[in-house]
Amino acid sequence: MASGEGRRHRHDLVPLAALISREMKNEKMEKPTVRYGHAAQSRKGEDYFLIKTDCQRVPGNPSSTFSVFAIFDGHNGNAAAIFTREHLLSHVLSAVPRGLGREEWLQALPRALVAGFVKTDKEFQSRGETSGTTATFVIVDAWTVTVASVGDSRCILDTQGGAVSTLTVDHRLEENVEERERVTASGGEVGRLSIVGGAEIGPLRCWPGGLCLSRSIGDMDVGEFIVPIPYVKQVKLSNAGGRLIIASDGIWDALSSEMAAKSCRGLPAELAARQVVKEALRTRGLKDDTTCIVVDIIPPDNSIQPLPPPKKQNKLRALLFRKRSRDSANKLSKKLSAVGIVEELFEEGSAMLAERLGNDDSAGQTTSGLFTCAVCQVDLAPSEGISVHAGSIFSTSTKPWQGPFLCADCRNKKDAMEGKRPSGVKVA
């Protein structure tokens, strides 16, 4: 880490005192309290979760504490889920440039999440083990919630007034037409299992591999068009707070988002998580691993947060999100949150790595992108880096020689994900 310090650009260095005073000015609302609960019923032993409430943006500074909650639902074995649980957080954090203030740090998260997911996938695949996993990874920093996910482990948000919204997209071939088209365009075949006699059964799957998901971490025996690039959404809650419910498909195959939220309203987080699992089992029985994490983000003057019974649901749903305009997608809005309205700060689901890593004006300033791979963070010799935009007909950059840069290995991974060349890693 010390060797990286000297490489940083001069304008990245902000004196600590200036950082702290800037943060104090930005913290108009007092920090909320975060309470959480977890419950699970196992059938195959392939669901894993991560709860870490003592992460620090500035090591040693308790006022920079943030929390991470995640669910990993493995398939074809548990190795990918275990590996992702162990490595994803550190890979994401190591992709955030050093020395950022709180706002800049939050702005840098979506790109760091993409890099961390792809790096974890690459590393796991290089071990030569089969199995894959969903990953729904949630960072709670005061009122700002950032969610990144691949697969179908959903994260929902229940806010005051009973409006329920989904902060993830289900990457399932059966329901997600857009993903189906992307997989087909990248060289995958989508179809159902056919049994003797030609009858087709079960959900849509991609071939080779037979996976029902269109995105995951791992799955080296499935085509590279099953990408680890996460859908990312970042929202800022109003000072009324809210409740997150993160769960594997064992819950969502049994309950709609509304049913899950409703089933546990008024209960503290620990009991709420148990109630959601109980409700799913009552509806469908134990057909699959079933894991649920409930996170309450509670205003400082409320010790418990009882969500009132829903009223005027439809009107509130329309008001729930204040949409950011398309061209301000990468900027944090400066507007104050109104009561009950969730501010949408960022949303992007593209599976194209160039779109997710590039075209940010701040890229050259806040990262050491000239010298390190934007995905795996390895140091690059000046002649070694390949621009993420190089040679792409989809490039919207007018300067394809500019960063961010990829090492040869990550560039190869990028082309494989886009169906331009077979992956270098294959099962024998």
Pick from 71, 277, 375, 416 the residue near Zn ion by CB under 5 A. Answer: 375
Task: For residue 380, state whether it binds Zn ion (rule: CB under 5 A).
Answer: no
Pick from 255, 407, 416, 417 the residue near Zn ion by CB under 5 A. Answer: 407
- Residue 388 CB, shortest distance to Zn ion, in Å, is 11
Interface pattern 333-372 for Zn ion (x via CB under 5 A): ----------------------------------------
Chain centroid to CA 279: 26
- Which range in 191-199, 206-214, 352-360, 403-411 contacts Zn ion by CB under 5 A? 403-411
- Residue 374 CB, shortest distance to Zn ion, in Å, is 8
Nearer to Zn ion, 246 or 380 (CB): 380
Residues 6+ apart with CB under 8 A from 395: 354, 358, 389
- Which range in 17-25, 109-117, 211-219, 374-382 contacts Zn ion by CB under 5 A? 374-382
- Which range in 59-67, 209-217, 394-402, 410-418 contacts Zn ion by CB under 5 A? 410-418
- Residue 147 CB, shortest distance to Zn ion, in Å, is 25
Nearer to Zn ion, 151 or 218 (CB): 218
Task: For residue 70, state whether it binds Zn ion (rule: CB under 5 A).
Answer: no
Task: For residue 410, state whether it binds Zn ion (rule: CB under 5 A).
Answer: yes
- Which range in 166-174, 393-401, 405-413, 417-425 contacts Zn ion by CB under 5 A? 405-413
- Residue 129 CB, shortest distance to Zn ion, in Å, is 21
- Residue 121 CB, shortest distance to Zn ion, in Å, is 12
- Residue 422 CB, shortest distance to Zn ion, in Å, is 19
Nearer to Zn ion, 92 or 373 (CB): 373
Pick from 145, 373, 416, 417 the residue near Zn ion by CB under 5 A. Answer: 373
Q: What is the size of the binding site for Zn ion (CB under 5 A)?
A: 5
Nearer to Zn ion, 341 or 407 (CB): 407
Distance, CA of 182 to CA of 198 (rounded, Å): 26
Task: For residue 376, state whether it binds Zn ion (rule: CB under 5 A).
Answer: yes
Nearer to Zn ion, 320 or 376 (CB): 376
Nearer to Zn ion, 122 or 274 (CB): 122
Residues in touch with Zn ion (CB under 5 A) = 373, 375-376, 407, 410
